[in-house]
Amino acid sequence: MKRYAKFGILIVVIIGTLVWLAVGGINESKTYYKTVAELEQMGNDAYEKRLRVAGDVEKGSIQRKGREVRFMLRQEKELLEVVYDNIEPLPDTFRDGAQAVCDGKLARSGVFNATKIQAKCASKYEAKPGQNPAVQKSGV
Amino acid sequence: MENIGALAILLAFCLSLYAIVGSIAGKLKSRPFLVRSAERAVYAVWFLLTLASGILVNALLTSDFRFAYVASRSNRDMPGVYKFAAWWGGQEGSLLLWTWILSCYAAVVVWQNRKKFRDMMPYVTATLMVTQAFFLLLITFPLSPFQVLAIGKEVTAAPDGSGLNPLLQYWAMAIHPPTLYLGYVGFIVPFAFAMGSLITRQPGDAWIHTTRRWALVTWLFQSCGVLLGAGWAYAVLGWGGYWGWDPVENASILPWITGTAFLHSVMMQEKKGMMKVWNIVLISATFFLCIFGTMLTRSGIVSSVHAFAQSPIGKYFTIFLALHIAATIWLILDRLDYLKSESQLESVVSRESSFLFNNLLLLASCFAVLWGTLFPVISEAVTGEKISVDAPFFNRVNVPIGLFLLFLTGVGPLIAWRRSSLDSLKRAFLWPAAVGVVTVAALAALGVRHFYALMSFGLCAFVTSTIVAEFGKGAWTIRAKTRMNMARAMVELTHRNTRRYGGYIVHMAIVVMFIGFSGAAFNQDKTIEVKPGDRFRLGRYELRVKDLKQGETPNYRWGNVVLDIYTDNEFLGALQPEKRFYKVSRDQSSEVAIRRRLNEDLYVNFSGVAEDGRAVIQAYVFPLVSWIWVGFATLFFGTLICLVPSKVRLQFPKTKVVGVVTQDARVSR
């Protein structure tokens, strides 16, 4: 059985290392999905965790200065000011009225510092089941 | 036409159900004509789906905007190629494509084996048709591609379509989805044979031999699909990344990982009669991951930039997967007795052991990727809070795994079966190891400090020297015997055992890609606002802003920046990144400009105009990125070599080493 013990030890060591790395990776990058309304109820927690907030880009609110972009994110009635400043350019789909998903941290000032933004135009990729963008567009 | 299309799909659905029942009943009751009729049903399904696809494609090409699908995926001004590509541009069409590819594969399998494997073929047919029926169910009922636009009860046509997303109007994107599907769908064939072999309680590995080519071709398609996607992301998305661990990307890599593990571990079964259960588990896992991948892409259970929004088909997939997995597990457990291993592991330092660890690592990587992808779903179920993990998690786990696998790529093919003596290890690995160490030392002396990059380059040098040594030794022997020149001898060597030397070429391709991946450790970037006349430096380049231009075409308005590139006052050429604004759809798209070279790419994106009228430019230097695409080409070539039949049929008893050629080489030393 000594032979198998050797295999066993090696496997345990490999898996153990990977699990250790994985746990580190999870802790470093875990991001909590929150709504804008929930942010306000989170208290101090809100400033420590990495958060993901989704909503619509408020029309006319996008301001660009160099690579820094500021805009208001609307989720139902709540508004959140978001600042984005990162090396990755914003996706082409990011524009007024687009649905945006922002990952980042909430600053004490109440401004959301996003490090990653994904966006999609609601009409473009796929309509929700039962509603067809072409139909809406042609006014039918 | 739309009625014929919908009818064809409905009929195909019924026929696929008939093929399942017919082939199983025919087998159990020993009625060959029933089995035959089931096989003919398979051909009929193929014919009907070809007809349905033809109708949809025709509607796309002729811009028949009565079809809801056409109206939302195409418009009149789009080039013909992209009108055709719109076939897989949306949900319903791409499911139709999936189903059609499956029907092609099924028809080919039935045709190839019309005189062979009479015992297990009915079950193979049935297995194929179960999945066929499931996908037909989806496009018959919830997601028909043949819905028409209507006001009240009257069918109407939209005046013009809303067009394919401009991001998708790029050559690699046009062929990426079908290539990926050819891979996704293809793994069902080895799976079906594995099931057929299990159900009929066959000992031996006929199912592996007969599906080796399928597995390889499918794996090649899958690799191409993944890499084309990466190439597209690099050239189109504007930030120069080729991999972002997005759920949909992960969905495409998962079956690739288990498929790779499968291609390696079948060798253990063929040569040593080991890992029989494991191989069945692996091919089943690969197949289920393919279905799972399709589900991730198509149902929107995990939010993704690829974002096909929420659709009702998630629950169909969940039920199908759950039932299918349960049935497969039950079948494997029930037939365990037929899958006994014929030999045992003897030593940690042996070929068997290297296969074992190769599989362990690939599976660990697969599990980690799956875990990370489903983390939001899992965490919501367990803690009630939706939590996602990001690139750092995936990289932390997968980078070390990748390096370890790279190491095994060098060790595995050279180490002896059963056990290796210290002496033989020294003989095989002393020089390659030395080359690796020298490489690391040299790079460290040149000032490279990034740990993983150093490791990677060292291992790449190590593996390259083992592969070169293998080719060199073999070719040298042939040269000595036949007086061919060295190049000719290399070709001869490869031709004698294509599977082995083709495999080495694929390994070499992986090494080349790793060099490309490692380049990412030295990326440089700069974001800057400029006006004409400005100049700025990045790395060894000086970029001079010559002009800002604007213009208009019928389809879009554009603005671009003309940049002259210099190094040390030597003019290298101009780059013109562009921004487009499509009039109809109001979409923007960035056309990045890339100066591609083997040593590094200079990559410039025009990200917009600031309020004071200056252009915002993002410039990057990506060292070694081109090596990934070179590796891709090498991988393609190597896999094709593997598919060429060997000139010499090597006959060997199961426990002996494969390489007759290297044994000669060893004797001749």
Q: What does the angle CA B120 – CA B642 – CA B510 come to, to the nearest 5 degrees? A: 120
Strands A68-75 and A50-57: antiparallel
Q: What is the DSSP letter of B508?
A: H
Assess if residue A20 is contained within a domain.
Answer: no
Q: What is the pLDDT of residue B300?
A: 65
Q: What is the DSSP letter of B305?
A: T
Directed axis angle between helix B391-411 and helix B351-383, to 10°?
170
Q: CB distance A89–B590 less than 8 Å?
A: yes
**Percent of chain B with pLDDT strictly greater than 70:** 94
Q: What amino acid occupies position B460?
A: C
Asked whether A82 and A62 are in contact (CB, 8 A), the reply is no
Q: What amino acid occupies position B592?
A: V
Which tens digit of pLDDT belongs to each residue from B584-622? 767 778 889 999 999 999 999 988 777 777 888 889 999
CA distance A119 to A94: 5
Q: What does the angle CA A118 – CA A122 – CA A124 come to, to the nearest 5 degrees? A: 95
Q: CB distance A121–B238 less than 8 Å?
A: no
Q: What is the pLDDT of residue B227?
A: 93
Q: Which of A7, A92, A125 sits opposite B348 (nearest CB)?
A: A7
Residue with the two structure tokens 């990057």: B620
Q: CB distance B239–A89 less than 8 Å?
A: yes
Question: Best residue in A27, A29, A120 to probe B by mutation, most B CBs within 10 Å?
Answer: A29
Assess if residue A117 is contained within a domain.
Answer: yes
Is the minimum CB–CB distance between B363 and chain A shorter than 8 Å? no
Q: Give residues with Cβ within 8 angstroms of B254, minimum separation 6.
A: B289, B292, B293, B366, B369, B370, B373
Cβ-Cβ contacts under 8 Å, A18 against chain B: 364, 368, 397, 400-401
For residue B645, the SS3 value is coil
Q: What is the pLDDT of residue B311?
A: 67
Band (B271; pLDDT cuts 50, 70, 90): confident
Question: Which range marks the domain in which residue A111 is found?
Answer: 33-125
- Nearest-CA distance A68 → chain B (Å): 10
Judged on CB neighbours under 10 Å (0-12, 13-18, 19+), B651 is exposed
Which tens digit of pLDDT belongs to each residue from A65-114? 767 888 888 888 888 899 998 777 777 778 788 888 888 888 888 888 88
Assess if residue A5 is contained within a domain.
Answer: no
Task: Tell me the torsion sign for CA atoms A62, A63, A69, A72.
Answer: negative
Q: Which two three-digit tokens encode residue B376? A: 């939001």
3-state secondary structure B376-427: HHHHHHHHCCCEECCHHHHHHHHHHHHHHHHHHHHHCCCCCCCCCCHHHHHH
CA distance B257 to B264: 11
Q: Which of B162, B166, B241 sits opposite A137 (nearest CB)?
A: B162
Q: Which two three-digit tokens encode residue B264? A: 């390696």
Among all residues of chain B, which has the CA nearest to that of A138?
A: B158
Assess if residue A85 is contained within a domain.
Answer: yes
Judged on CB neighbours under 10 Å (0-12, 13-18, 19+), B550 is exposed
CA distance B618 to B373: 30
Cβ-Cβ contacts under 8 Å, A133 against chain B: 72, 162
Residue with the two structure tokens 């972002």: B244
Cβ-Cβ contacts under 8 Å, B310 against chain A: 128-129
Who wins on pLDDT, B559 or A3? B559
Q: Which of B158, B309, B345 sits opposite A125 (nearest CB)?
A: B309
Assess if residue A24 is contained within a domain.
Answer: no
Cβ-Cβ contacts under 8 Å, A14 against chain B: 357, 360-361, 364, 404
CATH of the domain at A44: 2.40.50.140
Cβ-Cβ contacts under 8 Å, A10 against chain B: 348, 357
Q: What is the DSSP letter of B443?
A: H
Asked whether B188 and B290 are in contact (CB, 8 A), the reply is yes
SS3 percent helix, strand, coil of chain B, rounded to 5, is 65, 10, 25
Q: CB distance B590–A126 less than 8 Å?
A: no
Q: What is the pLDDT of residue A140?
A: 26
Band (B658; pLDDT cuts 50, 70, 90): very low
CA distance B263 to B261: 6
Based on the structure, what is the number of domains in chain A? 1
Band (A6; pLDDT cuts 50, 70, 90): confident
Q: CB distance B388–A33 less than 8 Å?
A: yes
Residue with the two structure tokens 């089995």: B35
Q: Which of A28, A129, A140 sits opposite B312 (nearest CB)?
A: A129
Assess if residue A139 is contained within a domain.
Answer: no
Interface confidence (ipTM) of the complex:
0.80
Question: Best residue in B389, B404, B584 to probe A by mutation, most A CBs within 10 Å?
Answer: B389
Assess if residue A13 is contained within a domain.
Answer: no
What are residue A100's DSSP bridge partners? A55, A119
Q: What is the pLDDT of residue A138?
A: 30
Q: Give residues with Cβ within 8 angstroms of B305, minimum separation 6.
A: A91, A118, A120, B244, B246, B248
**Cα separation of the two ends of chain B:** 73
> Where in B93-178 does DSSP place strands (E)?
150-151, 154-155
Is the minimum CB–CB distance between B158 and chain A shorter than 8 Å? yes
CA distance B207 to B170: 39
- Nearest-CA distance B156 → chain A (Å): 10
Kindly tell me if the per-residue pLDDT of B50 is higher than 80: yes
- Nearest-CA distance A128 → chain B (Å): 7
CA distance B588 to B579: 7
- Nearest-CA distance B348 → chain A (Å): 7
For residue B361, the SS3 value is helix
Q: What is the pLDDT of residue B415?
A: 82
Task: Annotate A60-107 with DSSP letters as a single string.
Answer: T--EEETTEEEEEEEETTEEEEEEE--SSPPPTT-STT-EEEEEEEE-
For residue A132, the SS3 value is coil
**Percent of chain A with pLDDT strictly greater than 90:** 6
Closest CA to B417 of B514, B346, B339, B497: B346
Q: Which of B388, B605, B607 sits opposite A31 (nearest CB)?
A: B388
Residue with the two structure tokens 């390489």: B659
For residue B531, the SS3 value is coil
Which tens digit of pLDDT belongs to each residue from B493-505? 889 888 899 999 9
Band (B245; pLDDT cuts 50, 70, 90): confident
Q: Which two three-digit tokens encode residue A70? A: 């500021």
Who wins on pLDDT, B322 or B150? B322
Is the minimum CB–CB distance between B170 and chain A shorter than 8 Å? no
Q: Which of A4, A93, A132 sits opposite B68 (nearest CB)?
A: A132
Assess if residue A130 is contained within a domain.
Answer: no
Strands A112-120 and A78-84: parallel
